[in-house]
Homo-oligomer: A and B are copies of this chain.
Amino acid sequence: MLKLDSRDPGFQEAWARVCARGSDEDEAPVREAAATIVADVRARGDLALLEHTRRHDAWDPGSAAGLALGPADFAAAYRGLPAAARRALSLAARRIADFHRRETDARVPARRDAAGATLSQVVRPLERVGLYVPGGTARYPSSVLMTAVPARVAGVREIVVTSPGVKGSGEMDRWTLAACHVAGVARLFKVGGAQAVAALAYGTATVPAVDKICGPGNAYVAAAKRLVFGRVDIDMIAGPSEILVLADAAADPAEVASDLLAQAEHDVRAVSVLVTPSAALARAALAAVERQLADLPRREIAGRSIEERGAVVVTRGLSEAVRLADAFAPEHLALHARGAAGLVKRISRAGAVFVGSSTPEAVGDYLAGPSHVLPTAGTARFASPLSVATFRRRMSVLDLTPAALAALAPSVEALARAEGLEGHWRAVEVRVAKRASARARRVAPAKAKAAGASGAPRARAAAGGARR
């Protein structure tokens, strides 16, 4: 574990390396391998899926139908779970739905402006989305809930899940299937890796093409998502999970340690960082980490993560600690400090903020409400948590009166000519001229009556004269 003090010479460089989180890994080999698989699935469809499943997951689906599970399978799995498990899944689904139902849309309500232009943005749900859920030896029913429930709340018509079966057998964890039941998933395909992403992006005879692919996966999944981005939308490129705990002298070392370890047990590449102005709290928290590690079932993974990727930073004061936390832009930011709620306004860059010592990150992982799919690796500088907005899109709607168009026409002419796009101006001109001509026709007969002449030639002249 890296131990830093912000007063040390060389601190800025050392801290910059912590913030970089190993982002200099060469991605080219993984990218090329993923590109080969994506191209293969795109070209050969189900045949390629079956072949990659046999090769990478070491089981034989027989036919493409052997990859698919549906609502009857989900319901059976749900019924087969103990009552406490069913209650936990249902409670989590309900809380996630309750939270995401309160989300407002980013949009512009319709309004007619003074010129006569009625402008708005309207919001529409995506039609079909694909959710990647890690599988194999692990099982993540919570990942199903935290992606599918917001999608359902958003109004997505069809939600499909891909998740690799257990290596060697192709079995699918019953918790994951039960989560599909409570979340309203339409179908699950037992496919993983880059081949799953390719199938969702391009479609096969069995797997439908979707509009967006969400959910975390390994390096091949991430590389494949990047490759198909543009063909479909993706949520983000997920890196290893991470937490930054900001603690003051009054924090409970055991609670701080438990948050660091809950993160570290995910993955040897998980990142756990403690930032505190209190050297005493730092020491006590590290001692608690050692104590708690001793009987943690996943102590080998957590211990290696803490050892290789963990960091403790002692700062000059709480303000500096807050600044460092914001610069790190953590996926999870835990505030173990007096006045924690007041610190939130000083934070811009985090996936989710856990305020105060009664809000362990773990409760957010499962059922507090907000999706646990959050930006990692510093992408909280620009990315948002998965949410209802992830599954909806906006559309601009423009509706001008003839008068509005006429009023704006001279400036369109200036700008279109500046860009050398005469056809743009003419598309406006043809309308303005026609309406001016129609107006002239309406006005002219009255004048003509007085002058004893026909108004028609005058109207044509007006229309013709408008083209310079």
User: What is the interface of chain A, defined by CB distance below 8 A to chain B?
Assistant: 23, 84-85, 87-89, 91-92, 98-100, 102-109, 111, 113, 117, 119, 121-122, 124-127, 138-142, 175, 211-212, 226, 229-233, 236-237, 252, 254-255, 258-259, 261-262, 264-266, 292, 296-298, 302, 340-341, 344, 347-371, 374, 377, 379-385, 387-389, 393-402, 404-405, 408, 410-412, 414-416, 418-428, 430-431, 434-435
Contact = CB atoms under 8 A, between A and B. Distances in A.
A145 B138 CA distance: 49
Given A105-B106, A422-B298, A370 B127 contact: no
B421 A265 contact: yes
Contacts of A422: 265, 296-298
Given A104-B105, A126-B382, A384-B393, 11 more contacts: A84-B410, A92-B411, A124-B348, A127-B348, A138-B419, A140-B419, A265-B422, A265-B424, A358-B404, A362-B424, A384-B394
Of A364, A388, A424, chain B has the most CB atoms within 10 Å of the CB of A424
Interface centre among A107, A139, A384, A387, by most chain B C-beta atoms within 10 angstroms, is A384
Given A292-B426, A398-B370, A381 B298 contact: no
A387 B121 contact: yes
B362 A396 contact: no
Given A103-B121, A398-B355, A262 B370 contact: no
B261 A347 contact: no
B421 A266 contact: yes
Contacts of A368: 117, 119, 398, 400, 408
Contact of A418 (B106, B175, B252, B377): B175
A107 B388 CA distance: 9
A9 B124 CA distance: 33
B427 A262 contact: yes
Contacts of A347: 395
Interface centre among A113, A382, A416, A427, by most B CB within 10 Å?
A427
Contacts of A411: 87-88, 91-92, 366-367
B363 A380 contact: no
B102 A104 contact: no
